[in-house]
Structure 1
C-alpha cells in the first residue's frame, strides 16, 4: 500500500490513498460489444455522438456492469462506446478481474471512461473487493487496468479503508 497526499483542484484538503489489489479488471471485457438497456433512449449511436438512457439503466460489457437511473453515453469516431456517466441513487458498477474476483462500487455519480479504464465515483462513494478490502470517500478514482483506487475527501471528512485480515490458516501462533 502506498499513501500519498495530493491536491485535486476543486477539492480542499484532499487526502489520497492507493490500494493495490492482486489483479486487474478482466482483460477480455474490452473485446466484447457494450450493451445498454433502460426505459427511455434518446440520441445517436453513430460516431462522436452523445445519447441518453433513462429509467432502469443497465450497461454491460463482458463482466462489467454499470447501473443507475440516468446515463449519458458517448461514442468515439468508430461508434464504439467511449464514456458513460451514470447518476441516480442506484449508481453502481461491478466487474470481475482476471482471477474472477469481483469489485463492486456505489456512488451518486459514476463517470467511466471505457477507453482509459478510469472511473471517477463521486458522492458517498464506496467500493469493495471480493477479497474483503474496501474504500470509501467523497471521491474515488478507480483504474480498471491496474486495479488501484485513490480516495479523496472534502474538508474534514475522512477516507475509510478496510484491509482483510490474514487468513487464520496462515497466521503464526503468538505462543
Structure 2
C-alpha cells in the first residue's frame, strides 16, 4: 500500500462514523466495506492536517449511500469532524427495521466527540411510513436519539409530518364498510 493510500485509512474510519449507530442507521453497515470515490483528494499522513476529497464524492458502505461535492475531514488531538458539502448533499440508508432514511442538505457535519450529525441549509430528512422533518437546521444526537430542528437566525420554520401508526397496508380490506380512506403518499 502506498503512502497516499495509507493516509486515507483514517478518513475511511471517520466517514464510517458519519451515520453509525442510532435510529437513522443500519447497525450492520458499520461492518461492511466502505468505498469512496472522488475526482481528487488532498490528504496527509499528518493527522493535524485536513483530508479533502473534491468533485463528485461518492461514499457507500452497506446500505449507506452519500453523494456530495466535497468532503473535509479534520482529525487529530482526539477530535474528528467531517463536513460534507454539495448542492445538495444526498444521503440514504436503510434502518435496522427495514425502513429507509433519505436526507438532503446543503451541508452535513459530523462531530465524533459530540456524537452529533447536523444537517443545514434546506435540510430534509424523510423516513417513508414514519414521516419527515425539514428546516434550515436539523441536529441529530446519535447517543441519545434526540432530534432538534430550527431555522437560522431571523426566519424560517420547521415542518414535520407524522404518519399514523395504525395506517392500514395498501390493499387491506375495509372491514367496517366505511368509505374508502383517502390515499396517502409516502415520503
TM-score (ref. length: structure 2): 0.66
Structure that is richer in helix per residue: 2
- Separation in 2, partners of 1:160, 1:77: 38
- Name the counterpart of 2:88: 90
- In 2, distance between residues paired with 1:139 and 1:172? 43
Q: Is the 8 A contact 1:45 1:51 kept in 2?
A: no
- Output the CA distance in 1 between the equivalents of 2:113 and 2:36: 17
1:50 equivalent in structure 2: 50
Task: Provide the secondary structure at the position in 2 that maps to 1:28.
Answer: helix
Q: Provide Cα deviations, 1:55-102, integer angstroms capped at 9, x if missing partner.
A: 111123333322211110234579xx9432111103122222211211
Rounded to whole Å, the distance in 2 between the matches of 1:76 and 1:30 is 22
User: Partners in 1 of 2:113 and 2:62 — Cα distance?
Assistant: 15
Structure with more strand by fraction: 1
Q: Is 2:37 the counterpart of 1:37?
A: yes
Cα deviation code 1:13-44 (max 9, x no counterpart): xxxxxxxxxx4522223334543210011112
- Could you say which structure has the greater relative contact order, defined with CA pairs below 8 angstroms and 6 or more residues apart? 1
The count of aligned residue pairs is 152
* Matches of 1:173 and 1:93, distance apart in 2: 41
Instruction: Indicate the RMSD between aligned Cα atoms, in angstroms.
Output: 3.2
Partner of 1:30: helix, strand, or coil?
A: helix
2:163 is matched with which residue? 164
- Does the CA contact (< 8 Å) of 2:24 and 2:93 recur in 1? no
Secondary structure, counterpart of 2:88 in structure 1: coil
TM-score relative to the length of structure 1 = 0.69
Contact residue 52 and residue 70 of structure 1 kept, 8 A: yes
